[in-house]
Structure 1
Amino acid sequence: MRHIILAVILWAASFAPGWADGAAIRTTIQSQITAFQQDDFDTAFSYASPNIQRIFGSPDRFGLMVSQGYPMVYRPADIKFLEIETIQGENWQKVRMADQQGRYHVMAYRMILLDGQWLINGVQLLPSEETGV
């Protein structure tokens, strides 16, 4: 019996780092969304990985891309964090967002850990069957 209890405790403990990482990942994403809501593109850009920063070159170009291409990220009406998946060693945080028209979208945020900080290394719009009311 003690072996079973010990196995369960060790199994549960193996998820503890993931829980801490999950909270940090959600904080990064929420902080970037908050920055977009305040039109603070410099701060929003700071949550992007160096690769994303190289692609867009400046906070203003990055902000323009998000405001025009991802209005549900730029001005979400509602946000719900879903599960984090690890796919081929990469962490993907799913987030359901409602746009200003009440339509739901599921976004997958590709996250990387760089120098102890979680950064966004891409966002993908996933197919969603949900509709808003």
Structure 2
Amino acid sequence: MRGWLVAALMAVLALGPAGAQERDPAIPGVIQSQIDAFLADDFVTAFTFASPNIKRLFGNPDRFGTMVRQGYPMVWRPADVQFLEQETKGGAIHQKVLITDAEGVPHVLDYQMIPTPEGWQINGVVLLVAPPVGA
């Protein structure tokens, strides 16, 4: 059942909104690099991929790491990561990511990416609520 749910969710999300644009290939690399740092419990490196706003909000890598472990456990310890569509909204690029957690549950997250002098950085992540399938 979960396999069917994931396939159906991916098919719907792959269609993307009308505002979808050509992918910036650097963005998935930035997100994957941060996830790789989380998998290594390297919150200092993971924090480098956060935007200046996120860095100001959390102040240091330890507080940032605590937030991720508690609020986004599927990002801290994903079983699978798949990059979906990108779109531009309000001057930022949003990258949707399908993350399957250790229990096999799919989660769709919207990463807001902004350009900075250091390159693309993550300015926020929102967990999207998927509509029930087959309800």
TM-score range relative to shorter protein: 0.7 to 0.9
Is 1:106 aligned to 2:108, yes or no? yes
- Between the aligned partners of 2:32 and 2:124, the Cα distance in structure 1 is 15
CA spacing shift, 1:47–1:37, aligned 2, 3 Å: same
Moved more, 107-116 or 53-62: 107-116
Larger radius of gyration: 1
Contact 1:104 1:130 in 2 (8 A): no
Q: Deviations over 1:58-87 (max 9, x none)?
A: 101000100111011000011100000111
Which secondary structure does the structure 1 equivalent of 2:41 belong to?
A: coil
TM norm structure 1: 0.80
Structure 1, gaps ≥5 residues long:
1-14
TM norm structure 2: 0.79
Out of 76, 80, 83, the position equivalent to 1:81 is 83
Q: How does 1:18-97 map onto structure 2 within 5 Å?
A: 18-19=22-23, 22-97=24-99
CA spacing shift, 1:45–1:116, aligned 2, 3 Å: closer
Question: What amino acid maps onto 2:46 in structure 1?
Answer: A
Moved over 6 A (4+): none
Q: How much identity, in percent, do the aligned residues show?
A: 56
Which secondary structure does the structure 1 equivalent of 2:25 belong to?
A: helix
Number of aligned residue pairs: give it: 113
- Between the aligned partners of 2:120 and 2:109, the Cα distance in structure 1 is 17
- Between the aligned partners of 2:46 and 2:111, the Cα distance in structure 1 is 14
CA positional deviation for 1:129: 4.1
* Greater RCO (Cα-Cα under 8 Å, separation 6 or more): 2
- Between the aligned partners of 1:65 and 1:100, the Cα distance in structure 2 is 19
Question: What amino acid maps onto 1:107 in structure 2?
Answer: L
